[in-house]
Structure 1
Amino acid sequence: MKAVLAAAFSLLAASTQAQVITECDWVANPANIAEPWEISTRTFANGAIRVARLDTGGEPVCCASHLLILSPSGNGSDGPVYRQCHVASASPGQGFYAVDIPRLTASYDPARGLLLSLPVYHWHQGVENGAQPIEERMEIRINQASGAVTAE
């Protein structure tokens, strides 16, 4: 039991580090959008911003969930506006145990942009024995004017 608790606390300390936002790669394949789409996706800013839960087919088992972020590249002052694609993950190449889209909340600050806040869950060694995964909130800022997508 002490080993499980030690592992959980170790993971909790590691999980409080900022998540990573990367440009889309194989993880963002449309086949990885979790079903049903009505539960796994949300739109904001009159449809200009869309997020979706991605599941890489359960691989790796510990951390197959990511967040897909589709948003405008900016306001057009630096060139044509296009839809950009990003993925939020726990760390480079590794997702979360789970991403909770139904509990996603959003707020808007005109000076900074849209802030998404949602629960994400991290695996630890006790999960396979029925322990709950470690929960934390992931916050992502999307600034439509600049096109910036950042983890906060």
Structure 2
Amino acid sequence: MIRSILVSLFLATPSMAQEIVDCDWQARADAIYEPWEEFSRTYANGDVRIALLDTIEPAAGSFHLLVLSPPFDELGGRQCQTIGLSGGAGFSGIGFEELAADYDPAIGLMFGVQVQYYDGELGDFISGDLLFSLNQSTGLIEAFLE
């Protein structure tokens, strides 16, 4: 069921820009939302970790997702990426408790989670579905916001 929903949503056109960037200031250890054991999950036999980050500022966009995943570097470390909105802003909320995951051999690991973000043009907060996929072989992460 989740797979069919995620696959169909991945085929939809994204409505707002989001970005995946190498770990930077957003990925500080003190930004991992607590309690850590509730806001961090592993997949693919522990090779992939998704965690909720709260950078506190900007207040209307302080939440990001941390993605630690293959491919591994020459020292055995995973790549480190964060997912947020364009321009370094994050989301105003992420329903991490409801993070859904599935796997499709044609796409890779697929994730879906509800997010909230501030829309400056409307002057209001909007809810949407953040969908992202991870190809563990290449490290490619693609994200779509519905």
Task: Give me the TM-score of the superposition, normalised by structure 2.
Answer: 0.79
Match of 2:7 in 1: none
Structure 2 counterpart of 1:37: 36
1:120-135 matches, within 5 Å, as: 120-123=115-118, 133-135=125-127
CA drift of 1:149 comes to 1.4
Please tell me whether the aligned partners of residues 118 and 139 of structure 1 are also in contact (alpha carbons under 8 angstroms): yes
How many residue pairs align between the two structures?
128
- Structure 1: which 4+ aligned runs deviate by more than 3 Å? 79-82
Question: How is 1:1-152 mapped onto 2 (pairs within 5 angstroms)?
Answer: 16-56=15-55, 58-73=56-71, 82-123=77-118, 133-152=125-144
Secondary structure at 2:113 match in 1: strand
Q: Matches of 1:88 and 1:25 in 2, distance apart?
A: 11
SS at match of 2:51: strand
Alignment partner, residue 5 of structure 1:
none
TM-score norm. by structure 1 comes to: 0.76
- Name the structure where strand makes up a greater proportion of residues: 2
Distance 1:81 1:109, change over 3 A: farther
The runs of 5 or more residues in structure 1 that have no matched partner are 1-14, 126-130
Unaligned runs of 5+ in 2: 1-13
Q: CA deviation at 1:41?
A: 1.0
- Give the distance between the partners of 2:70 and 2:134, measured in 1 at CA: 9
CA RMSD of aligned residues (A): 2.1
Residues 111, 82 of structure 1: CA spacing in aligned structure 2 closer, same or farther, 3 A cutoff? farther
Percent of matched pairs sharing the same residue: 40
What SS does the aligned partner of 2:46 have? Answer: coil
What's the offset of the Cα at 1:81?
A: 5.7
**Helix, strand or coil: the match of 1:144?**
coil
